Amino acid sequence: MVFPSKYNKSDLNYYKGKYSGNEHNSDKIKKSYLLDSPRIALLGCGGWGKNLMRIFHNLGALKLVCDPVKSATDFAEKNAPRVGLTDNFNDVIKSSEIDALVIATPADTHFELAARALDAGKDVFVEKPLALDVYHGEKLKQVAEKNKRILMVGHLLEYHPAILKLQNLIKDNKLGVINYIYSNRLNFGKIRIKENALWSFAPHDMAVILRLIGEMPVKVTCNGGNYLNSKLADVTVSTLEFSTGQKAHVFVSWLNPFKEQKLVVMGDRRMAVFDDVLTSNKLKLYDQKVDFNDRFPVLNKFGVDVIEYSKVEPLKAECEHFIKCIQTRKEPLTNAKSGVDVLKVLKACQESLTKGGSPIICQK
């Protein structure tokens, strides 16, 4: 473990010892430090990990940042004072001075790190996706249950106050019967080399759609295109069909000329649009529907309402929820089951994609 040289003696009293390499030192962080808050370590301080570091540090729960890349720990040293630094995942997982781990490493490492952490008695927050296949996701769920540990998945949109408001609108029948939902998650960049656009971009939207409709799809189809790498799809369009007759479409791409993050929910009374790219007025309710006059369709448009919702930062709400679940031992909103359900949908979509868009029955 490496501590910033700018710490003075009183700062260092929060910690005991230094370590590096594979040798484990169990006296890393003084147990009396913030006893009312769980002691959280962040694994991975690149990309999204920097945002998680900011929030958990501001909440007073972050005790350690671990990343093998020096520029990442340098960033943590500068932006998260009084936080321990290390490049050794193994030591962090073994440490008796850490209560919980937040895993923001590449997706292909999620399963191994989370499984080891759960077996070591740690509560775990894993960024999406929970794993890269259903078997590993279910295995993590089993390990968490066996060890009576909290396992939470970072499906951030489910903590967005606009999405929570949208859920209430649907529950209160403000939109009427939901006919279909579509989402676009498009950008130029964030290109991955180990998972395709479906697995990288779609988990958020799949999670929200499953939450809004309240059930798993019975069948999916998925088509896409590989343009940068013959083995990885850069663009995919997935269709989810539900037992109630509802459908959902998810369009993702990292080769789009502009950024778009839009969710549209079409009801038979009203239509809702959540546009996450906008800086304000992200959620709107369109009071319009189709009636029939002597068998002829009549379009009725009665205006657009901007829907107000809490302005709390979604990531802060998500991180606070994780801390609360650790303290109360209550199941997270985005628990292991919800993470596995998303993996099941992604798996079926991937199979359809591989088979040229053939319909695939989705695992319950």
Instruction: Report the distance separating Cα 275 and Cα 253, nearest Å.
Output: 17
| pLDDT band for position 11 (cuts 50, 70, 90) | very low
| Fold topology of 9-154 | Rossmann fold (3.40.50)
Identical fold between 9-154 and 158-311+332-361: no
**Is the pLDDT assigned to residue 362 strictly greater than 90?**
yes
Residue 142 near residue 111, CB atoms below 8 Å: no
* pLDDT tens, residue by residue, 43-92: 999 999 999 999 999 999 999 999 999 999 999 999 998 899 999 999 99
Delimit the domains of the chain by residue range.
9-154, 158-311+332-361
**Is the pLDDT assigned to residue 335 strictly greater than 90?**
yes
**In percent, how much of the chain has pLDDT > 70?**
90
* Beta strands in the chain, from DSSP E residues, in sequence order: 40-43, 62-66, 84-86, 100-103, 123-127, 151-154, 178-188, 219-225, 235-241, 247-253, 255-267, 271-275, 283-293, 296-306, 360-361
| Residue of higher predicted confidence among 193 and 2 | 193
Instruction: Report the distance separating Cα 348 and Cα 354, nearest Å.
Output: 10
What is the pLDDT at residue 35? 46
**Is the pLDDT assigned to residue 19 strictly greater than 50?**
no
Average pLDDT, integer, range 196-209: 96
What is the pLDDT at residue 363? 87
Check whether the bond before 129 is cis (ω within 30° of 0): yes
| Fold topology of 158-311+332-361 | Dihydrodipicolinate Reductase; domain 2 (3.30.360)
Alpha-carbon distance values, 242 to 70, 221, 248 (Å): 47, 12, 8
Report the residue count for the chain: 364
What is the pLDDT at residue 6? 33
* pLDDT tens, residue by residue, 212-254: 999 999 999 999 999 999 999 999 999 999 999 999 999 999 9
Cα angle value 138/164/239 (rounded, 5°): 55
What is the pLDDT at residue 328? 95
Instruction: Report the distance separating Cα 52 and Cα 39, nearest Å.
Output: 14
